[in-house]
Amino acid sequence: MYELISLTNKTYYINSPSKVGLFKINDKEIYLIDSGNDKDAARKIDKHIKENNWTLKGIINTHSNADHVGGNKMLQARHDCEIISTSIENSFTKHPVLEPSFLYGGYPFKAIRNKFIMAEASNPTSDIETAGIIGLSYIKLPGHFFDMIGIITDDKVAFLGDSLFSEEIINKYHIFFIYDIKAYIETLNMLDGLEADIYVPSHCEPTKNIKSLIKANRNKIEEIVNHILLFCENPQLFEDILQYIFSVYSLKMDANQYILVGSTLRSYLSYMSDENLLTYEFSDSKMYWKKI
């Protein structure tokens, strides 16, 4: 784990739970794509930087989830480097309490203010739209989070953040986090036509073909929609739908899963309401969801 692996003569990745990209803009200067999940990851990443006598110019965050920005603080402190993403993702990076707050829907209780949900704050320096890094371009990948991006190198390596999950993750967890279901589906459709020599999703092995991954992610979304429709033949409370989904997939409930799966389920309900698949009603001061 945390091996530095070459993809081309100037593009690498660090093999970690959330893969970190590394791009050489010249023989000495590099940019990272994401920074791992915590300061321990940052130390291991920094070891590669020092061993190769590189200068870390900046970190480009695909999005602001803790496992992608958790190494920012230490690396920025050691290298005085730039931190770059989209405006809203930069806001979450600077004010990480925003993530557990939005997931929970209120001030987050102590158990969910943990490093898996809330990274240490770091100081974003610019927005990707104005960064202008030679050799790198970006694409918008909305859906998984508010304004996620992918990074494309000029030697045709595409770092895709959390726009695709591996079949192993899908088969283990089933309901992976999505903020906007419709946007996620549209991103999958866009990725179907994206051309690159190598694709690097953050939680998959690098691959030359993402067609099967796209299909697996799309199929799981359709499966979850169908489960919700089946359960909502009669009016159902949100908590009962959540319990049903956990039962269907034999998931184990804890505080992190409650907010992550719960937030994603609310996104499914919003999507299905907007697509006229579900309606809602209020009775006895309770909100019920029902198939149309």
Q: What is the DSSP string of 214-281?
A: HHHHHHHHHHHHHHHHHHTTS-EEHHHHHHHHHHHTTPPP-HHHHHHHHHHHHHHHHHHHHTTSEEEE
* Chain region(s) in the chain for CATH 3.60.15.10: 3-209
Both tokens of 7, joined, read: 């993809």
pLDDT of residue 280: 99
The tens-digit pLDDT sequence of the chain (292 residues) is: 999 999 999 999 999 999 999 999 999 999 999 999 999 999 999 999 999 999 999 999 999 999 999 999 999 999 999 999 999 999 999 999 999 999 999 999 999 999 999 999 999 999 999 999 999 999 999 999 999 999 999 999 999 999 999 999 999 999 999 999 999 999 999 999 999 999 999 999 999 999 999 999 999 999 999 999 999 999 999 999 999 999 999 999 999 999 999 999 999 999 999 999 999 999 999 999 999 9
Ranges in the chain annotated CATH 1.10.10.10: 222-291
How confident is the model at residue 47, as a pLDDT?
A: 98
Cβ proximity of 158 and 200 under 8 Å: yes
Q: Which CATH class is domain 3-209?
A: alpha beta
The residue written with tokens 């590394």 in the block is 22
| Two tokens, residue 191 | 């990725």
Cα 104 to Cα 73: distance, rounded to the nearest angstrom? 25
State the pLDDT at residue 77: 98
Amino acid at residue number 139: I
Cα-based distances in Å from 281 to 235, 236, 284? 8, 10, 10
Q: Which CATH class is domain 222-291?
A: mainly alpha
Write down the pLDDT at residue 239. Answer: 98
Residue 30: per-residue pLDDT: 99
What are the Cα distances from residue 176, in Å, to 46, 68, 197, 218, 260? 30, 16, 27, 12, 8
